[in-house]
């Protein structure tokens, strides 16, 4: 599963869960978004070929 797909799945879960689970899912979603941002930043920092 790609990171983008994982983020989308977490977003769907957050919209259809009970409040007790929502905080955990939101934390996982925030972590996945941070990982994606780091990957994008690393790609942007690479010199062109």
b/e code 26-38 from CB counts within 10 Å (16+ = b): eebbeebeeeeee
Asked whether the predicted pLDDT for residue 46 surpasses 90, the reply is no
- Rounded mean pLDDT of the chain? 92
Helix, strand, coil shares of the chain, percent, nearest 5, are: 80, 0, 20
Mean pLDDT of 42-46: 86
pLDDT at 49: 67
DSSP secondary structure code for residue 34 in this structure: H
What is the average pLDDT across 17-41?
94
48 pLDDT higher than 90: no
The pair of three-digit structure tokens given for residue 19, joined into one six-digit string: 């409040």
Neighbouring residues of 1: CB distance < 8 A, sequence distance ≥ 6: 9
Greater model confidence, 33 or 43: 33
Q: At what angle do helices 3-15 and 19-45 cross, to 10 degrees?
A: 160
Region 16-34: mean pLDDT is 94
């Amino acid at each position: 599963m790609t990171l983008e797909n994982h983020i989308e799945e977490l977003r769907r879960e957050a919209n259809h869960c009970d409040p007790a689970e929502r905080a955990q899912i939101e934390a996982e979603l925030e972590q996945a978004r941070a990982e994606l941002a780091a990957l994008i930043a690393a790609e942007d920092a690479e010199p062109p070929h």
